[in-house]
Structure 1
Amino acid sequence: MKFLDHLEEWIIAILMGGATLVIFISVLHRYGTGFSIPYVQDWLLSLRFSWAQELCIIMFVWMAKFGAAYGVRAGVHVGVDVLVTRLPAEWRNATVYTALSCGAIFTAIIGTLGLTFVWENGMHYALYNLFGMASADMSEGPTTPDLEWPTWIVYSAVWMGSYLMCFRFLQVGFIFHRTGELPQHDHAHVEGLSDEENAVELPATPAMKGGV
């Protein structure tokens, strides 16, 4: 479980860092071609970065799907629990279990539908071709316009992220059954600071004091 404890953070960090780097290089390329520097301008013009936007969109979609799974594990999804907290203990526990079960069932359904879609979209051909079992009537499936990647690879974010969310819902339910606690996220907490530093209250602004 130590590997799964930080799986989403690693994936999001890698994707975010990669997208930032691609955007940075793309912007340098776009404005660098305007400089009349011998050889450098010709070299920049010879490069093709038309795929940069498509790649960044794909990376952000993957970040969103795995970020949703992180939200379940860390308890950062928006929820209204005013009524739940006022219920008796038995009713409150039943409500929590029902909500977590609904979340697990829903994400399992979305994951299964997503897996079925990518299987029919070309994933089956890739797997059969990998083991030398592909037949002539099988289709390789469509590809993306710029990168020309198989679209089933791009759409795999749906079933992978959904199944991971389903696992997180079940994990939260198991922890709640053992400890009676749900993951809570302190929005005022800043990662990297000590508890004492996070406990320091900032001076109130005029708006906080009731001013305009």
Structure 2
Amino acid sequence: MKALRYLERYFERILLTIALLVMATVLFAQVIMRYFLRSPFVWSEELARYVLVWAAIIGVSLAVRERKHISVDFLPLIFGERSYRIFAVIAHIGVLAFSFIMISASIPLIERLQAIGQTSPALGIPMWMVYAAIPVGFSLTLLRTIQALVMDFVSPRIELNEQGDI
């Protein structure tokens, strides 16, 4: 049970740490190969780009989990602490709707890419694997938003500090 709780708490952080380590390692190796050994890798920039795409989309889920996503907190400051829950629910519903749209719009695209069999130029990996970041990342975002929505109803009181943050 502790392992599941740890995984629930740090899943996105683990994935993002691995992604950033892969990017840093590949790009560092590329610099060494290009400028010191004069024999650059052909595939390194493409891999770094695809890993960055995955990291950015999974990062949305982490931002939702840690409540660090962009928000406008002007109205809760005007209407007071009691209105925070109402605006938080409205924001969560917006994120849920956007995530659902992204998931449902990306699945047909991925199916088309699988049918076509398109591969990346340098790595030769199927492009549907790159585009799979969209439904995977936004499914995690959907899950984390539902968790945040439930927590907003379960928590007894949410207090804002002087800056209006939680």
Shorter-chain TM-score bucket reads 0.7 to 0.9
Letter in 1 for 2:33: H
8 Å CA contact 1:19–1:56 kept in 2: the answer is yes
8 Å CA contact 1:175–1:181 kept in 2: the answer is no
Instruction: State the match for 2:52 in structure 1.
Output: 60
Letter in 1 for 2:120: T
Deviations 1:39-67 (A, max 9, x none): xxxxxx4xx61000000000111110011
Aligned length: 155
- What secondary structure is seen at the aligned counterpart in 1 of 2:79? coil
Counterpart among 143, 159, 171 of residue 147 in structure 2? 171
| CA positional deviation for 1:88 | 5.6
Distance in 2 separating the partners of 1:76 and 1:89: 19
- Over the aligned positions, Cα root-mean-square deviation in angstroms equals 2.1
- What secondary structure is seen at the aligned counterpart in 1 of 2:152? helix
8 Å CA contact 2:95–2:145 kept in 1: the answer is yes
Instruction: State the match for 2:65 in structure 1.
Output: 73
User: What aligned pairs does 1:134-149 form with structure 2 within 5 A after superposition?
Assistant: 139=115, 141-149=117-125
Distance in 2 separating the partners of 1:13 and 1:176: 28
Instruction: State the match for 1:12 in structure 2.
Output: 16
8 Å CA contact 1:73–1:169 kept in 2: the answer is yes
Normalising by structure 1, we get a TM-score of 0.67
Segments of 5+ residues of structure 2 without an aligned counterpart are 162-166
Distance in 2 separating the partners of 1:49 and 1:91: 55
Deviations 1:47-93 (A, max 9, x none): x6100000000011111001111111111122221221332666442
Larger RCO: Structure 1 or Structure 2 (Cα < 8 Å, ≥ 6 residues apart)? 2
Instruction: State the match for 1:112 in structure 2.
Output: 104
- What secondary structure is seen at the aligned counterpart in 2 of 1:6? helix
Misfit runs of 4+, over 6 Å: none
User: What aligned pairs does 1:31-70 form with structure 2 within 5 A after superposition?
Assistant: 31-34=35-38, 45=39, 49-70=41-62
Segments of 5+ residues of structure 1 without an aligned counterpart are 35-44, 123-138, 185-212
